Chain A
Amino acid sequence: MDGRNGRAAGADRTPEGVGRAAWSKVDPASFDNVERGCTVIRMPGPIQSIERAAAILRLLASGARKMGVAELATALGLPKGTVRGILRTLQHVGFVEQSQDTGKYQLGAALFHIGSSYLDVNELRTRALNWSDSLAARSKESVRIGTLHEGQVLVVHHVFRPDNSSQVLEVGALLPAHASALGKVLLANDPLDQLDDAGLVGFTPATCTDPERLREMLAEVRARGWASDVEEMVEGEVSVAAPIRDRRGVTVGAIGISGPIERLCGMTGEDARTPRVELVSYVREAARAISRDLGAIPW
């Protein structure tokens, strides 16, 4: 991908600190508001349904086990209908998930994405520094680490291809999620499902622009634990990526390599469009090593 297109060139100057909304710019004018802003807030009494929702979440968080409606209702001393109604709302916002086959409930992935779960991208780079270096050294290709940012892949770390050729740092660049290995890994493991069906732009004849087919591919990526892009973004270019997980198993980023198809894929026939096995295993090993450092349980 190096020096591939205008999108990447010079993109390293774009701010990377886009992640943390809490640190918004302080408007100097807002100092005035401090004086005036002492309105008295009347405290309402506790809202019963929120208290009950919290109790349900706490119960679900207390055990590794999934729980059914009846079980929850008994434990909380509430009518089943009430519990079912609350669960439906919690499910709607992604805070609980219902198992397809048993109908039982567990905490939802969206819950993990609020509060302390957010991993600062600069921290991710710092923690991944050594392993991404060794991935570049072993694969002899350039390495990128990406996170999802408004449906696209934000490159948060970039290691040059170790051949001392002239290359430009692409940190801060955005890549199309559906046409890159990094993006596919991130979409496949994204609990918020940020796949934008209408935004599936075709870059090459190989780009997958059909939402149905893409969803199938993502399911496969999720199952096998890695993704590839074979000339789906740029003709002649291939990328391979795997998920980086934190201690709760949440995917916080993806790491991958990219390079020309002649080096990344096999020599003949079917193999010529399949990434080489040893390169895939280097990528997956690096992803696992970083995950381990972030506290993920080895898988």
Chain B
Amino acid sequence: MSHRYIAAIDQGTTSSRCIVFDEAGSIVSVAQKEHRQIFPKPGWVEHDAEEIWANVLDVVHGALQKMSITVHDLAAVGITNQRETTVLWDAETGVPVHNAIVWQDTRTDQLVRELAADGGQDRFRAKCGLPLATYFAGPKIRWLLDNVPGVRERAERGEVLFGTMDTWLIWKLTGRHVTDVTNASRTMLMDLATLDWDDELLAAMGVPRAMLPEIRSSAEVYGHATGTLAGLPVASALGDQQAALFGQTCYAPGEGKCTYGTGSFLLLNTGEQPVQSANGLLTTVGYKIGDQPATYALEGAIAVTGSLVQWFRDNMGLIASAPEIETLARTVEDNGGCYFVPAFAGLFAPHWRGDARGVIAGLTGYITKGHLARAVLEATAWQTREVVDAMNADSGVELTTLRVDGGMTANNLLMQFLSDVLDVPVVRPIIAETTCLGAAYAAGLAVGFWPNTDALRENWHRAAEWLPSMEAGVRERGYRKWQKAVQRTMDWIDEDDE
């Protein structure tokens, strides 16, 4: 009866989870633990990597205990992680030299601006697929090298190591210093064509090669765990959004998924060639299974979706919980002409306008909180529409179905509206936990728990489907008004604003 299950560790921004899956891809057990968010200064966000490691061990053991199973019942464990969060540690002692710098942290703002001054924001885009931005790991490493005394010299000698959270966990579990292609593709240091660290990028960013992990595929046995999980093969690593793409079984070019959480991330499989974006999307590695060629993806990130619902709840106080927004929105027939563009920190893909700020357009004396609730939900759908349009233009293939997951997919009103404005079917798979599932799938492939991706596709089942039912004229008028509202967000920030 051994090796009946696969475990996945999801090391996320607010918590770490472990989910145990059976062969059908069904959830057998779940354990979760939150970790501290450390805010040393405005705009700075840190995590304690040691705390995260302790939590990860806790949740793995917790998930096993809940079902009274042991490590011997597991065929392998896979890892998926918050992307770009950066930790440096002492190779000898294993002690981090500083708290991990979280992806949201903007301390590298100045550094990124300096790097962009010389060649523009897109100077590395052709090679690494990314614009210069504070999110990515490269600038964060540079900041640590510049600001933690003594670290640069030791990093040059390979005495201090770099890792994103996948690397940190694999190192803690197995003692190996490796990362996978998807996580490496978020550093700005990897060449998308060679899938190796690039000397020119390393030199520009000022990062010594000696501190970097070896780049491996997303699905292979990196090593076996020691300690309390002794013997367990650690067999996959994928950034969270890539894991969701994998868990949604988007294995063919043109297949894509959108994860609707705090923010939302649309990834489209573009096949074995990276596609450069002319419309402000990111080019990234989707996954790489063992020796097979890498699969690339286009990524559109929408900063404010679920967080707008939270804002509506916490800052406006019009609802007591996020799901209640649907109840409120259903008190009215439509948005009453009201549009809400949540450009709270500027406009992202595909506009990229830092000078924009949010607007609520079309207000009249007729508008009630119900209309506002509709406008809040519709904002998520219209923002998706903009990203899908950009993807269709970049990739030359039309999205035919959108696979969705994440907390907001519980909202039927939103999912129907999404299908209406995209004019394609929207489908939710039976396992909403696609991130963990993707990591489990990749690990299972690596150890032969599942034979191939076809077997995984057979596990994918529709839990719900929303079909477009909006008249074309209504859709076009709505989109036109949305675009007008977007125009009204721009040019708000002035030179002398704080």
Contact = CB atoms under 8 A, between A and B. Distances in A.
Decide if A and B are genuine partners.
yes
Interface of A: 12, 15-17, 19-20, 23-26, 28, 31, 120-123, 125-127, 129-130, 133-134, 136-138, 158-160, 162-164, 167, 169, 171
Contact of A25 (B25, B331, B464): B331
Contacts of B327: 16-17, 19-20, 23, 120-122
Most buried by B among A122, A133, A163: A122
A143 to B, nearest CB: 9
22 contacts: A16-B326, A17-B327, A23-B331, A25-B331, A26-B368, A123-B323, A123-B324, A125-B323, A126-B323, A126-B407, A126-B411, A129-B409, A133-B432, A134-B431, A137-B430, A160-B430, A160-B465, A162-B430, A167-B462, A167-B465, A169-B464, A169-B466
Nearest to A125: B410
A45 to B, nearest CB: 34
B310 to A, nearest CB: 13
Interface in B398-438: 407, 409-412, 416, 430-433
Interface in B10-26: 24-26
Given A26-B368, A28-B366, A159-B464, A129 B324 contact: no
Given A123-B321, A123-B323, A164-B461, A24 B430 contact: no
B412 A171 contact: yes
B97 interface: no
User: What 7 pairs between A and B have smallest CB-CB spacing?
Assistant: A17-B330, A162-B461, A126-B410, A123-B323, A126-B323, A122-B326, A122-B323
Interface in B315-368: 321-332, 365-366, 368
Contacts of A164: 461-462
A116 to B, nearest CB: 9
A2 B370 CA distance: 32
Given A25-B331, A125-B410, A138-B26, A133 B326 contact: no
B1 interface: no
Interface in B370-419: 370, 407, 409-412, 416
B328 A136 contact: no
A133 B463 CA distance: 7
B229 interface: no
B289 interface: no
B463 A162 contact: yes
Contacts of A31: 365
Contact of B432 (A15, A129, A158, A162): A129
Contacts of A163: 461
B275 interface: no
B112 interface: no
Contacts of A26: 368, 370
Interface residues of B, number: 36
Nearest to A137: B26
A133 B332 contact: no
A19 B325 CA distance: 13
A167 B27 CA distance: 23
Contacts of B431: 133-134, 137
A130 B429 CA distance: 11
Contacts of B323: 120, 122-123, 125-127
Contact of B430 (A16, A133, A167, A169): A133
Contacts of B430: 133, 136-137, 159-160, 162
Contacts of A24: 331
B26 A160 contact: no
Given A25-B368, A122-B324, A130 B433 contact: yes
Nearest to A26: B368
B20 to A, nearest CB: 12
A134 B20 CA distance: 13
A167 B465 CA distance: 8
Given A122-B410, A159-B463, A169-B412, 7 more contacts: A15-B330, A23-B331, A23-B370, A31-B365, A126-B323, A163-B461, A169-B464
Contact of B464 (A17, A23, A160): A160
A16 B365 CA distance: 26
A171 B365 CA distance: 33
A136 B464 CA distance: 12
Interface string B430-465: 111100000000000000000000000000011111
Given A23-B370, A31-B365, A137-B430, A12 B412 contact: yes
Nearest to A16: B330
Most buried by A among B322, B327, B411: B327
Contacts of B368: 25-26
Contacts of A171: 412
A163 B411 CA distance: 23
Contacts of B329: 17
Interface string B17-57: 00000001111000000000000000000000000000000
